[in-house]
Each structure stands twice: as C-alpha cells, then as structure tokens.
Amino acid sequence: MLRFSDFAGNQAAAGALQEALRAGRLPHALVLEGPAGSGKRTLARIFAAAALCLGEGEKPCGTCAACRKVEAGSHPDLFTASGGAAAR
C-alpha cells in the first residue's frame, strides 16, 4: 500500500492533508486539481486509506483490516466515482 512518504507529487498538498489528519480536522469534501499525471488520484487514495486506517503510528499502516479492505477495493466506506474527461 502506498503511503504519504511514497508520494512523489505535490508535497505541499500531501503535507496539508497529513496535517488535517493529525489534527483530526477532516473536511467534508476535498477538490484535488492539477494536470493529468500529477498524482491527484494517488494522493486521494492515500488520504482515504489514512482516514479509514485503524492502525497505530503512520497512517495508512497498510496492515489493519481497514487498510486491507481499501487495498482490495472492498471497504464499505470508500467509493471511487469515475467520470468526466479526467477519469478516462
């Protein structure tokens, strides 16, 4: 499972999302905007996994039940909507 430390894209965006998680201040919605291939989908997936992670320490831990379900695409609280030109 990818973690924030593996993310090679926009570090400021990744840092802001990590800080929101640490502070327990998750917004009700986020918009990640950027050019194709800039890592928006990857960052969204890491953030979602971290928000759902039940492990201790760095999140996502990659080993808890929630992380395994996210990785398998079967977590009931994670839905990936596809559509529009960017999702082709």
Q: Which residues bind Zn ion (CB under 5 A)?
A: 53, 55, 60-61, 64, 67
**Min CB(7)–Zn ion separation in Å:** 16
Nearest to Zn ion of 9, 55 (CB atom): 55
Nearest Cα residue to 32 out of 8, 49, 2, 12 = 12
Tell me how far the alpha carbon of residue 75 is from its chain's centroid.
13
Least CB distance to Zn ion at residue 4 (A) = 13
Do residues 9 and 42 make contact, with C-beta atoms less than 8 angstroms apart?
yes
CB of 51 to Zn ion, least distance (A): 10
Q: Are 41 and 82 spatial neighbours (Cβ–Cβ below 8 Å)?
A: no
Give the residue with the Cβ less far from Zn ion, 9 or 62: 62
In 3D, which of 62, 73, 71, 60 has the Cα closest to residue 21?
Answer: 60
Q: Give the residue with the Cβ less far from Zn ion, 6 or 33.
A: 6
